[in-house]
Amino acid sequence: MAKPTKRLPTKRLPMLPAERALKVISGRWKAVILYHLFDGPRRLSVLKTLVPDITQKVLIQQLREMEEHGLIRREIFAEIPSRVEYSATRLGLSLEPILLALCAWAQHHADELNEMDRVTDCIIRPRQARPPAIA
Amino acid sequence: MAKPTKRLPTKRLPMLPAERALKVISGRWKAVILYHLFDGPRRLSVLKTLVPDITQKVLIQQLREMEEHGLIRREIFAEIPSRVEYSATRLGLSLEPILLALCAWAQHHADELNEMDRVTDCIIRPRQARPPAIA
DNA sequence: CAGTATCCGATTAGATACTG
DNA sequence: CAGTATCTAATCGGATACTG
């Protein structure tokens, strides 16, 4: 059994779209921020406390990108202590099930992923394609 | 109606796990590569043709990372023209539904995402928090 | 409070050439 | 065929200081 190539040999669905989807939520903090916006509009200051480990600069960066991508909305209120609220758009909200599925997946495979973390921190060292003694 | 904060005010599910899940499939090409492995084992040379736009170096890099993360497996066959096959592990396969969901999402929102692409290519220019004339 | 400007280190990816 | 080694450009994220 040298070629157990099962399933379809060529294509099924175009993967390319998913690539773009990934780009939209890729970024160190985007998923987390968006997640907090699922719960309703949030002011910048609140987001800062909700995601304490992020720099303000990066927070705003990620917000901007998600805004450009149509995932979130930014609303300015003409009040004296200036107020700005970020909220998820319909498009952003439509990602909720997928993000939750991702959560569920990650939790379900927590063990394997822990294992992974351990590895990720190491340098991925080179390796030989050294066959186990040619037959 | 200044605070239409609906839904839960605090937490629901920990988002942190999803972050790690995202890390695992984030990377310019990982999703695409993994996707091709869903169809069965693939040799490196085949992957190169399946994902023609990727550099060989980067292809191997991404394969290595996914291997370290337990998503894929690498098997060496002791043959004379050396042969190496990559295939998805159980863990990798378990990502299939989510990746497909991501595909579906991206296709369903193709229009908005096209719009996005247009924007993504531009420089995200600075912007003022300029309120529309204070009341 | 919300946001900008700058500088810098780390990570990422691409190009190219070479090896068993 | 499968893979490594360099070198480089681009992107990303973090720290810090400053503004209306």
User: For residue B88, what are its two tokens?
Assistant: 């998805």
pTM over 0.75: yes
Which chain D positions come under 7 Å from a protein C-beta?
A: 1-6, 12-17, 20
Q: Measure A100 CA to nearest chain B CA, in Å.
A: 8
**Does residue B10 sit at the A interface (CB-CB below 8 Å)?**
yes
Beta-bridge partner residues of A85: A43, A75
Q: How many angstroms separate the CA of B128 from the C1' of C8?
A: 26
List, for residues B4-56, the tens digit of each pLDDT value: 333 333 344 556 778 888 989 998 899 999 999 999 999 999 999 999 999 99
Per-residue pLDDT averaged across A67-94, rounded?
94
**Does residue A123 sit at the B interface (CB-CB below 8 Å)?**
no
Q: Residue B83: which H helix or E strand, with range?
A: strand B83-88
A and B: number of Cβ contacts within 8 A: 194
List, for residues A39-79, the tens digit of each pLDDT value: 999 999 999 999 999 999 999 999 999 999 999 999 999 88
Name the closest residue on chain B to residue A32, using Cα atoms.
B15
- Output the CA–CA distances (angstroms, integers) from residue B101 to A33, A66, B4, in the order listed: 21, 20, 30
Alpha helical stretches, state H, chain B: 16-25, 30-38, 44-50, 56-68, 90-93, 96-108, 110-120
Q: How many angstroms separate the CA of B13 from the C1' of D1?
A: 47
pLDDT of residue B131: 40
